[in-house]
A and B are shown apart, each in its own frame.
Chain A
Amino acid sequence: MESRDETMMEKHRVHLRPITLRDAAPATLHLLPCEVLASRPAPVGRFFTPAIRQGPDGLEVSFRGRSLRGEEVAVPPGLVGYVMVTEEKLIGKQDFLGDSENNYQEEEREPVAAPEPLERDFDRFIGATATFSRFTLWGLETIPGPDAKVRGALTWPSLAAVIHAQVPED
Protein backbone atom coordinates (compact mmCIF):
# COMPACT_ATOMS: atom_id res chain seq x y z
CA MET A 1 0.00 0.00 0.00
CA GLU A 2 1.00 3.56 -0.52
CA SER A 3 1.62 6.01 2.21
CA ARG A 4 -1.43 7.73 3.59
CA ASP A 5 -1.03 11.10 5.13
CA GLU A 6 -3.11 14.05 6.15
CA THR A 7 -3.57 15.27 2.60
CA MET A 8 -5.60 12.19 1.87
CA MET A 9 -8.53 13.72 3.65
CA GLU A 10 -8.63 16.38 1.02
CA LYS A 11 -7.96 13.92 -1.72
CA HIS A 12 -10.39 11.13 -1.14
CA ARG A 13 -13.90 10.95 -2.45
CA VAL A 14 -17.08 9.64 -0.93
CA HIS A 15 -19.03 7.88 -3.63
CA LEU A 16 -22.76 7.94 -3.38
CA ARG A 17 -24.19 4.75 -4.80
CA PRO A 18 -26.78 5.89 -7.36
CA ILE A 19 -28.79 2.69 -7.07
CA THR A 20 -29.62 3.46 -3.45
CA LEU A 21 -31.35 6.69 -4.51
CA ARG A 22 -34.02 4.86 -6.44
CA ASP A 23 -34.54 1.90 -4.14
CA ALA A 24 -34.89 3.72 -0.83
CA ALA A 25 -38.02 3.05 1.23
CA PRO A 26 -39.97 5.92 2.81
CA ALA A 27 -38.91 6.92 6.32
CA THR A 28 -40.93 8.51 9.12
CA LEU A 29 -39.15 11.51 10.60
CA HIS A 30 -39.66 13.69 13.63
CA LEU A 31 -37.60 16.80 14.33
CA LEU A 32 -37.53 17.20 18.09
CA PRO A 33 -36.93 20.44 19.99
CA CYS A 34 -34.36 18.94 22.30
CA GLU A 35 -30.88 17.52 22.24
CA VAL A 36 -30.59 13.78 22.47
CA LEU A 37 -26.96 12.98 22.86
CA ALA A 38 -27.14 9.48 21.49
CA SER A 39 -27.44 8.29 17.92
CA ARG A 40 -28.69 4.74 17.94
CA PRO A 41 -31.75 2.55 17.53
CA ALA A 42 -34.67 3.65 19.70
CA PRO A 43 -38.15 2.21 20.22
CA VAL A 44 -39.87 5.23 18.65
CA GLY A 45 -42.82 3.16 17.47
CA ARG A 46 -43.41 1.74 20.90
CA PHE A 47 -43.27 4.82 23.08
CA PHE A 48 -43.44 7.97 20.98
CA THR A 49 -45.60 7.47 17.91
CA PRO A 50 -48.57 5.82 19.68
CA ALA A 51 -48.78 8.77 22.10
CA ILE A 52 -49.30 11.36 19.35
CA ARG A 53 -52.75 12.95 19.53
CA GLN A 54 -54.51 15.31 17.19
CA GLY A 55 -55.22 18.40 19.28
CA PRO A 56 -57.42 21.39 18.45
CA ASP A 57 -54.60 23.19 16.66
CA GLY A 58 -52.01 20.61 15.83
CA LEU A 59 -50.38 17.43 17.00
CA GLU A 60 -49.61 16.81 20.64
CA VAL A 61 -47.32 14.36 22.33
CA SER A 62 -45.54 13.98 25.60
CA PHE A 63 -41.83 13.25 25.51
CA ARG A 64 -39.63 12.88 28.56
CA GLY A 65 -42.45 14.36 30.60
CA ARG A 66 -42.71 17.46 28.49
CA SER A 67 -45.49 18.50 26.23
CA LEU A 68 -44.62 18.88 22.57
CA ARG A 69 -46.76 20.44 19.88
CA GLY A 70 -46.19 19.50 16.29
CA GLU A 71 -47.12 19.93 12.67
CA GLU A 72 -46.33 18.30 9.37
CA VAL A 73 -43.75 19.97 7.16
CA ALA A 74 -43.55 18.98 3.51
CA VAL A 75 -40.29 18.97 1.60
CA PRO A 76 -40.71 21.65 -1.10
CA PRO A 77 -41.64 20.44 -4.58
CA GLY A 78 -38.68 19.52 -6.74
CA LEU A 79 -36.73 18.24 -3.77
CA VAL A 80 -36.42 14.80 -2.31
CA GLY A 81 -35.08 13.81 1.09
CA TYR A 82 -32.74 10.95 1.87
CA VAL A 83 -31.39 9.28 4.95
CA MET A 84 -27.76 8.52 4.16
CA VAL A 85 -25.39 6.15 5.83
CA THR A 86 -21.67 5.94 5.25
CA GLU A 87 -20.49 2.41 4.66
CA GLU A 88 -18.29 1.25 7.46
CA LYS A 89 -15.65 -0.73 5.68
CA LEU A 90 -13.77 0.22 2.56
CA ILE A 91 -15.06 -1.96 -0.19
CA GLY A 92 -12.57 -3.94 -2.20
CA LYS A 93 -11.78 -2.20 -5.40
CA GLN A 94 -12.57 -5.21 -7.55
CA ASP A 95 -16.25 -4.33 -7.31
CA PHE A 96 -15.95 -0.90 -8.70
CA LEU A 97 -12.87 -0.46 -10.74
CA GLY A 98 -12.40 -1.68 -14.22
CA ASP A 99 -15.85 -1.21 -15.54
CA SER A 100 -16.10 1.91 -17.57
CA GLU A 101 -15.01 4.67 -15.30
CA ASN A 102 -15.26 8.10 -16.80
CA ASN A 103 -17.91 6.81 -19.12
CA TYR A 104 -20.09 9.81 -18.55
CA GLN A 105 -17.83 12.31 -20.15
CA GLU A 106 -19.48 13.31 -23.31
CA GLU A 107 -16.36 13.60 -25.41
CA GLU A 108 -12.61 13.55 -25.31
CA ARG A 109 -11.30 16.76 -23.93
CA GLU A 110 -7.84 18.14 -23.71
CA PRO A 111 -5.73 15.74 -21.75
CA VAL A 112 -5.76 17.48 -18.41
CA ALA A 113 -4.42 14.76 -16.21
CA ALA A 114 -3.27 11.22 -16.43
CA PRO A 115 -6.36 9.05 -16.75
CA GLU A 116 -7.37 8.15 -13.27
CA PRO A 117 -10.31 6.05 -12.20
CA LEU A 118 -13.12 7.91 -10.49
CA GLU A 119 -13.15 5.39 -7.67
CA ARG A 120 -9.87 4.63 -5.97
CA ASP A 121 -9.25 2.03 -3.33
CA PHE A 122 -8.88 4.59 -0.57
CA ASP A 123 -12.22 6.19 -1.34
CA ARG A 124 -15.31 5.61 0.73
CA PHE A 125 -18.93 4.90 -0.08
CA ILE A 126 -22.23 6.22 1.12
CA GLY A 127 -25.74 5.17 0.28
CA ALA A 128 -29.31 6.18 0.93
CA THR A 129 -31.17 3.84 3.26
CA ALA A 130 -34.49 5.66 3.18
CA THR A 131 -36.25 8.56 1.53
CA PHE A 132 -38.66 11.22 2.81
CA SER A 133 -40.91 13.92 1.48
CA ARG A 134 -42.21 15.23 4.78
CA PHE A 135 -41.43 15.25 8.47
CA THR A 136 -43.14 16.19 11.71
CA LEU A 137 -41.73 19.32 13.29
CA TRP A 138 -42.13 19.55 17.06
CA GLY A 139 -41.94 22.57 19.33
CA LEU A 140 -41.67 22.64 23.07
CA GLU A 141 -45.14 23.48 24.39
CA THR A 142 -45.93 25.62 21.34
CA ILE A 143 -46.43 24.88 17.66
CA PRO A 144 -43.28 25.87 15.76
CA GLY A 145 -45.39 27.76 13.23
CA PRO A 146 -44.41 29.66 10.09
CA ASP A 147 -41.40 31.30 11.75
CA ALA A 148 -39.67 28.00 12.43
CA LYS A 149 -36.10 28.28 11.26
CA VAL A 150 -36.19 25.05 9.38
CA ARG A 151 -38.99 26.46 7.25
CA GLY A 152 -36.70 29.31 6.29
CA ALA A 153 -34.01 26.80 5.46
CA LEU A 154 -36.34 24.97 3.13
CA THR A 155 -36.59 28.09 0.97
CA TRP A 156 -32.85 28.05 0.36
CA PRO A 157 -32.79 25.71 -2.68
CA SER A 158 -35.07 27.95 -4.74
CA LEU A 159 -32.94 30.99 -3.97
CA ALA A 160 -29.72 29.08 -4.60
CA ALA A 161 -31.06 28.08 -8.00
CA VAL A 162 -31.27 31.74 -8.98
CA ILE A 163 -27.89 32.69 -7.56
CA HIS A 164 -26.27 29.93 -9.57
CA ALA A 165 -28.28 30.21 -12.78
CA GLN A 166 -26.26 31.16 -15.83
CA VAL A 167 -26.41 34.85 -16.66
CA PRO A 168 -27.43 36.00 -20.14
CA GLU A 169 -24.70 36.87 -22.62
CA ASP A 170 -24.13 40.51 -23.49
Chain B
Amino acid sequence: KNLYLFPEYLKDASKKMKHGLMFVKLVNPCSGEGAIYLFDMYLQQLFEVKVFKEKYHSWFINQSVQSGGALHFATPVDPLFLLLHYLMKAGKEGKFQPLDQVVVDDIFPNSILLLKLPELEKSLCHVTEEKVNPEITNKKYYKYSKEKTLKWLEKKVNQTMAALKTNNVNVSARVLSTAFFSSDQVASDKEEDYIRYAHGLISEYIPKELSDDLSKHLQLPELPASWPNPPSKKIKLSDEPVEAKEDYTKFNTKDLKTEKKNNKMTAAQKALAKVDKSGMKSIDTFFGAKIKKKTGKI
Protein backbone atom coordinates (compact mmCIF):
# COMPACT_ATOMS: atom_id res chain seq x y z
CA LYS B 1 0.00 0.00 0.00
CA ASN B 2 1.21 3.44 -0.90
CA LEU B 3 -0.22 6.79 0.06
CA TYR B 4 -0.50 9.44 -2.63
CA LEU B 5 -1.54 13.04 -2.80
CA PHE B 6 -2.89 14.18 -6.15
CA PRO B 7 -4.24 17.48 -7.36
CA GLU B 8 -8.00 17.35 -7.02
CA TYR B 9 -8.58 18.12 -10.69
CA LEU B 10 -6.99 14.82 -11.54
CA LYS B 11 -9.82 13.12 -9.78
CA ASP B 12 -12.37 15.21 -11.68
CA ALA B 13 -10.68 14.43 -14.98
CA SER B 14 -10.72 10.73 -14.18
CA LYS B 15 -14.47 10.79 -14.58
CA LYS B 16 -14.07 11.34 -18.26
CA MET B 17 -11.46 8.72 -18.95
CA LYS B 18 -11.20 4.96 -19.00
CA HIS B 19 -7.46 4.82 -19.22
CA GLY B 20 -4.46 6.92 -20.09
CA LEU B 21 -3.26 7.59 -16.57
CA MET B 22 0.06 5.89 -16.01
CA PHE B 23 3.25 5.86 -14.06
CA VAL B 24 6.35 5.69 -16.22
CA LYS B 25 10.03 6.02 -15.70
CA LEU B 26 11.55 8.98 -17.48
CA VAL B 27 14.83 10.79 -17.21
CA ASN B 28 15.39 13.08 -14.26
CA PRO B 29 16.73 16.15 -16.07
CA CYS B 30 18.99 17.05 -13.17
CA SER B 31 20.70 13.76 -12.50
CA GLY B 32 20.17 12.05 -15.85
CA GLU B 33 18.93 9.02 -13.96
CA GLY B 34 15.49 7.47 -13.98
CA ALA B 35 12.62 8.91 -11.99
CA ILE B 36 8.95 8.11 -11.74
CA TYR B 37 6.46 10.38 -13.44
CA LEU B 38 2.72 10.21 -13.85
CA PHE B 39 1.34 10.82 -17.30
CA ASP B 40 -2.24 11.91 -17.83
CA MET B 41 -3.17 11.45 -21.48
CA TYR B 42 -6.54 13.06 -21.00
CA LEU B 43 -5.28 16.25 -19.37
CA GLN B 44 -2.13 15.95 -21.45
CA GLN B 45 -0.12 16.72 -18.42
CA LEU B 46 2.98 15.34 -16.79
CA PHE B 47 3.38 14.98 -13.02
CA GLU B 48 6.49 14.24 -11.07
CA VAL B 49 6.33 11.93 -8.08
CA LYS B 50 8.24 12.79 -4.96
CA VAL B 51 8.28 10.82 -1.75
CA PHE B 52 8.24 12.29 1.68
CA LYS B 53 9.67 9.89 4.18
CA GLU B 54 10.83 10.43 7.68
CA LYS B 55 12.75 7.89 9.69
CA TYR B 56 10.93 5.93 12.37
CA HIS B 57 7.46 6.41 11.00
CA SER B 58 4.66 4.10 9.95
CA TRP B 59 1.04 4.34 8.95
CA PHE B 60 -2.11 2.82 10.25
CA ILE B 61 -4.40 2.65 7.24
CA ASN B 62 -7.85 1.57 8.39
CA GLN B 63 -7.33 -1.92 9.81
CA SER B 64 -3.77 -2.40 8.60
CA VAL B 65 -0.27 -1.26 9.32
CA GLN B 66 2.13 0.01 6.67
CA SER B 67 5.81 0.38 7.47
CA GLY B 68 7.93 3.24 6.20
CA GLY B 69 5.57 6.14 6.77
CA ALA B 70 5.98 7.37 3.19
CA LEU B 71 3.73 9.89 1.52
CA HIS B 72 3.92 10.33 -2.25
CA PHE B 73 3.25 13.64 -3.94
CA ALA B 74 2.26 13.88 -7.58
CA THR B 75 2.62 17.47 -8.74
CA PRO B 76 2.55 18.92 -12.26
CA VAL B 77 5.97 19.34 -13.79
CA ASP B 78 6.96 21.56 -16.70
CA PRO B 79 7.84 18.97 -19.35
CA LEU B 80 10.16 21.47 -20.98
CA PHE B 81 12.70 20.63 -18.28
CA LEU B 82 12.75 17.06 -19.51
CA LEU B 83 12.88 18.07 -23.12
CA LEU B 84 15.76 20.38 -22.34
CA HIS B 85 17.76 17.33 -21.32
CA TYR B 86 17.37 15.94 -24.84
CA LEU B 87 17.77 19.28 -26.59
CA MET B 88 21.07 19.92 -24.83
CA LYS B 89 22.31 16.50 -25.84
CA ALA B 90 21.25 16.98 -29.45
CA GLY B 91 22.56 20.54 -29.35
CA LYS B 92 26.11 19.24 -29.07
CA GLU B 93 25.88 18.30 -32.74
CA GLY B 94 25.02 21.91 -33.54
CA LYS B 95 22.34 21.04 -36.07
CA PHE B 96 18.70 21.90 -36.39
CA GLN B 97 16.68 18.73 -35.89
CA PRO B 98 13.03 17.74 -35.82
CA LEU B 99 11.73 16.98 -32.36
CA ASP B 100 11.24 13.28 -32.95
CA GLN B 101 14.93 12.98 -33.67
CA VAL B 102 15.81 14.92 -30.56
CA VAL B 103 13.79 12.82 -28.14
CA VAL B 104 15.42 9.48 -28.68
CA ASP B 105 16.10 7.41 -25.61
CA ASP B 106 16.96 3.74 -25.50
CA ILE B 107 17.09 3.64 -21.73
CA PHE B 108 13.76 5.34 -21.11
CA PRO B 109 11.67 4.51 -24.17
CA ASN B 110 8.59 6.01 -22.55
CA SER B 111 10.09 9.40 -23.25
CA ILE B 112 8.32 9.32 -26.63
CA LEU B 113 5.18 10.04 -24.61
CA LEU B 114 6.56 13.55 -24.17
CA LEU B 115 5.89 14.15 -27.83
CA LYS B 116 2.21 13.67 -27.13
CA LEU B 117 2.04 16.83 -25.06
CA PRO B 118 0.73 19.50 -27.43
CA GLU B 119 1.68 22.42 -25.21
CA LEU B 120 5.25 21.34 -25.22
CA GLU B 121 5.97 22.26 -28.82
CA LYS B 122 4.59 25.73 -28.23
CA SER B 123 6.92 26.33 -25.33
CA LEU B 124 9.99 25.20 -27.26
CA CYS B 125 10.60 28.78 -28.37
CA HIS B 126 11.86 29.48 -24.83
CA VAL B 127 14.86 27.23 -25.22
CA THR B 128 15.53 26.75 -28.94
CA GLU B 129 16.16 28.43 -32.24
CA GLU B 130 13.65 27.25 -34.75
CA LYS B 131 13.62 26.72 -38.50
CA VAL B 132 10.74 25.75 -40.71
CA ASN B 133 11.31 23.72 -43.83
CA PRO B 134 9.26 25.41 -46.56
CA GLU B 135 9.21 22.23 -48.60
CA ILE B 136 7.66 20.07 -45.96
CA THR B 137 4.75 21.98 -44.53
CA ASN B 138 4.78 22.37 -40.81
CA LYS B 139 7.98 20.47 -40.38
CA LYS B 140 9.95 22.35 -37.77
CA TYR B 141 13.57 21.98 -36.80
CA TYR B 142 15.03 22.99 -33.49
CA LYS B 143 18.41 23.76 -32.03
CA TYR B 144 19.20 24.29 -28.35
CA SER B 145 19.94 27.89 -27.47
CA LYS B 146 21.77 28.52 -24.24
CA GLU B 147 21.06 32.25 -24.30
CA LYS B 148 17.34 31.75 -24.63
CA THR B 149 17.35 28.99 -22.05
CA LEU B 150 19.07 31.18 -19.48
CA LYS B 151 16.49 33.91 -20.04
CA TRP B 152 13.73 31.37 -19.62
CA LEU B 153 15.28 30.02 -16.44
CA GLU B 154 15.69 33.52 -15.09
CA LYS B 155 11.95 34.01 -15.45
CA LYS B 156 11.41 30.72 -13.68
CA VAL B 157 13.65 31.87 -10.84
CA ASN B 158 11.80 35.17 -10.62
CA GLN B 159 8.37 33.68 -10.42
CA THR B 160 9.55 31.12 -7.89
CA MET B 161 11.13 33.85 -5.82
CA ALA B 162 7.91 35.85 -5.85
CA ALA B 163 6.03 32.84 -4.52
CA LEU B 164 8.61 32.22 -1.81
CA LYS B 165 8.14 35.78 -0.64
CA THR B 166 4.37 35.62 -0.75
CA ASN B 167 4.30 32.39 1.19
CA ASN B 168 6.87 33.68 3.63
CA VAL B 169 9.07 30.65 3.26
CA ASN B 170 12.00 30.87 5.56
CA VAL B 171 14.79 30.72 3.01
CA SER B 172 17.78 30.82 5.29
CA ALA B 173 19.17 30.76 8.75
CA ARG B 174 20.69 34.03 7.72
CA VAL B 175 17.33 35.75 7.73
CA LEU B 176 17.13 35.32 11.46
CA SER B 177 20.74 35.92 12.26
CA THR B 178 20.81 39.25 10.46
CA ALA B 179 17.66 40.49 12.13
CA PHE B 180 19.83 42.23 14.68
CA PHE B 181 21.57 44.37 12.12
CA SER B 182 20.31 47.41 10.28
CA SER B 183 17.15 47.02 8.27
CA ASP B 184 18.99 47.76 5.02
CA GLN B 185 21.30 44.89 5.62
CA VAL B 186 18.42 42.58 6.32
CA ALA B 187 16.55 43.58 3.19
CA SER B 188 19.45 43.05 0.83
CA ASP B 189 20.57 39.82 2.43
CA LYS B 190 17.07 38.54 2.27
CA GLU B 191 16.81 39.30 -1.41
CA GLU B 192 19.93 37.34 -2.14
CA ASP B 193 18.74 34.45 -0.02
CA TYR B 194 15.51 34.32 -1.95
CA ILE B 195 17.28 34.29 -5.31
CA ARG B 196 19.65 31.64 -4.09
CA TYR B 197 16.84 29.50 -2.75
CA ALA B 198 14.81 29.85 -5.96
CA HIS B 199 17.93 29.07 -7.97
CA GLY B 200 18.37 25.96 -5.86
CA LEU B 201 14.82 24.84 -6.51
CA ILE B 202 15.10 25.36 -10.27
CA SER B 203 18.49 23.62 -10.26
CA GLU B 204 16.69 20.45 -9.23
CA TYR B 205 15.40 20.30 -12.79
CA ILE B 206 18.46 21.14 -14.86
CA PRO B 207 21.94 19.66 -15.24
CA LYS B 208 24.68 20.93 -12.95
CA GLU B 209 26.50 22.66 -15.76
CA LEU B 210 23.44 24.71 -16.67
CA SER B 211 22.79 25.44 -13.00
CA ASP B 212 26.28 26.93 -12.74
CA ASP B 213 25.68 29.01 -15.85
CA LEU B 214 22.40 30.19 -14.42
CA SER B 215 24.12 31.19 -11.20
CA LYS B 216 26.52 33.37 -13.22
CA HIS B 217 23.70 34.71 -15.33
CA LEU B 218 21.85 35.74 -12.16
CA GLN B 219 25.10 37.25 -10.87
CA LEU B 220 24.87 35.32 -7.65
CA PRO B 221 27.99 36.01 -5.62
CA GLU B 222 30.09 33.08 -4.51
CA LEU B 223 29.33 32.10 -0.95
CA PRO B 224 32.01 32.61 1.65
CA ALA B 225 33.33 29.22 2.68
CA SER B 226 32.63 29.87 6.34
CA TRP B 227 28.92 30.24 5.70
CA PRO B 228 26.66 27.36 6.58
CA ASN B 229 25.31 25.61 3.52
CA PRO B 230 22.54 27.61 1.93
CA PRO B 231 19.28 25.76 1.45
CA SER B 232 19.91 25.43 -2.26
CA LYS B 233 23.11 23.54 -1.59
CA LYS B 234 21.46 21.35 0.97
CA ILE B 235 18.77 20.38 -1.44
CA LYS B 236 21.38 19.34 -3.93
CA LEU B 237 23.16 17.15 -1.47
CA SER B 238 20.26 14.79 -1.47
CA ASP B 239 21.36 11.55 -3.01
CA GLU B 240 18.00 9.88 -3.35
CA PRO B 241 16.45 9.87 -6.78
CA VAL B 242 13.23 11.19 -5.38
CA GLU B 243 14.59 13.83 -3.13
CA ALA B 244 11.47 15.26 -1.63
CA LYS B 245 12.48 14.34 1.86
CA GLU B 246 15.55 16.46 1.77
CA ASP B 247 14.07 19.73 0.64
CA TYR B 248 10.95 19.41 2.71
CA THR B 249 13.00 19.28 5.83
CA LYS B 250 14.30 22.68 4.89
CA PHE B 251 10.89 24.19 4.60
CA ASN B 252 9.37 25.91 7.56
CA THR B 253 11.92 24.47 9.90
CA LYS B 254 13.29 27.00 12.24
CA ASP B 255 16.81 27.43 10.90
CA LEU B 256 19.39 25.24 12.53
CA LYS B 257 17.50 24.48 15.65
CA THR B 258 16.44 21.12 14.35
CA GLU B 259 19.74 19.62 15.35
CA LYS B 260 19.70 21.17 18.76
CA LYS B 261 16.25 19.87 19.33
CA ASN B 262 17.60 16.38 19.60
CA ASN B 263 19.18 17.32 22.89
CA LYS B 264 15.80 18.05 24.30
CA MET B 265 14.44 14.62 23.59
CA THR B 266 12.65 12.83 26.31
CA ALA B 267 14.18 9.62 27.59
CA ALA B 268 11.85 7.51 25.51
CA GLN B 269 12.60 9.53 22.39
CA LYS B 270 16.31 9.07 22.95
CA ALA B 271 15.95 5.37 23.45
CA LEU B 272 14.07 4.99 20.22
CA ALA B 273 16.41 7.26 18.31
CA LYS B 274 19.26 4.86 18.97
CA VAL B 275 17.67 2.08 17.00
CA ASP B 276 18.99 2.08 13.49
CA LYS B 277 16.32 1.49 10.93
CA SER B 278 18.01 1.86 7.62
CA GLY B 279 17.08 0.28 4.34
CA MET B 280 13.81 1.98 3.69
CA LYS B 281 12.22 1.35 0.36
CA SER B 282 12.41 3.90 -2.38
CA ILE B 283 9.69 4.40 -4.90
CA ASP B 284 11.75 2.47 -7.41
CA THR B 285 10.74 -0.76 -5.76
CA PHE B 286 7.21 0.13 -6.64
CA PHE B 287 8.31 -0.28 -10.22
CA GLY B 288 9.57 -3.45 -11.70
CA ALA B 289 9.97 -5.59 -8.61
CA LYS B 290 7.42 -8.13 -9.72
CA ILE B 291 8.70 -8.89 -13.18
CA LYS B 292 12.24 -7.73 -12.88
CA LYS B 293 13.92 -11.08 -12.79
CA LYS B 294 12.12 -12.87 -15.57
CA THR B 295 14.94 -12.96 -18.01
CA GLY B 296 15.29 -14.90 -21.19
CA LYS B 297 13.02 -16.21 -23.85
CA ILE B 298 10.00 -18.30 -23.17
Listed in ascending order, the chain A residues whose CB lies under 8 Å from chain B are 1-19, 21-22, 27-45, 48, 66-67, 75, 78-86, 88, 90, 96, 99-107, 109-110, 112-113, 118-119, 122-124, 126, 128-130, 132, 140-142, 146-147, 149-168, 170
Contacts and interface: CB of A to CB of B under 8 A. Distances in A.
B6 A13 contact: no
B107 A7 contact: yes
B167 to A, nearest CB: 7
Interface string B30-69: 0000100010011010001010101111111111111111
Contact of B116 (A6, A90, A105, A149): A105
B160 interface: yes
B59 A35 contact: no
Contacts of B100: 110, 112-113
Given A104-B44, A164-B76, A112 B115 contact: yes
Contacts of A107: 118
Interface in B89-132: 98-100, 106-110, 112, 115-116, 118-119, 123, 126
Contact of A82 (B4, B57, B68): B4
A12 B266 contact: no
Contacts of B159: 162, 165, 167
Nearest to A42: B65
A3 B152 CA distance: 43
Given A31-B57, A82-B3, A38 B65 contact: yes
B178 interface: no
Nearest to A101: B19
Given A15-B19, A141-B268, A149 B249 contact: yes
Given A34-B272, A104-B17, A156-B50, A9 B75 contact: no
A153 B73 contact: yes
Interface of B is mostly: mixed
B5 A10 contact: no
B63 A41 contact: yes
B21 A16 contact: yes
Contacts of A153: 52, 71, 73, 244, 248, 251
B294 to A, nearest CB: 5
Contacts of B126: 167
Nearest to B284: A9
A99 B17 CA distance: 12
Nearest to B198: A163
Contacts of B139: 110
Contacts of A99: 18
11 contacts: A9-B25, A9-B292, A28-B61, A32-B59, A32-B60, A34-B57, A44-B64, A75-B5, A81-B4, A82-B4, A156-B247
Given A22-B14, A29-B60, A38 B4 contact: no
Interface in B233-289: 244, 247-254, 266, 268-269, 272, 275, 277, 286-288
B54 A141 contact: no
A166 to B, nearest CB: 7
A36 B1 CA distance: 14
A109 B116 contact: yes
B160 A162 contact: yes
Interface in B1-19: 1-8, 10-11, 13-15, 17-19
Interface in B137-173: 138-139, 151-152, 155-156, 159-160, 162-164, 167, 169
B78 interface: yes
Given A34-B58, A160-B75, A86 B288 contact: no
A88 to B, nearest CB: 8
Nearest to A5: B295
B57 A32 contact: yes
Contact of A27 (B62, B67, B68): B62
B228 interface: no
A84 B67 contact: no
Given A81-B3, A150-B54, A22 B15 contact: yes
Nearest to A152: B251
Given A15-B21, A29-B59, A168-B155, A80 B14 contact: no
Contact of B8 (A7, A11, A78, A150): A78
Nearest to A158: B167
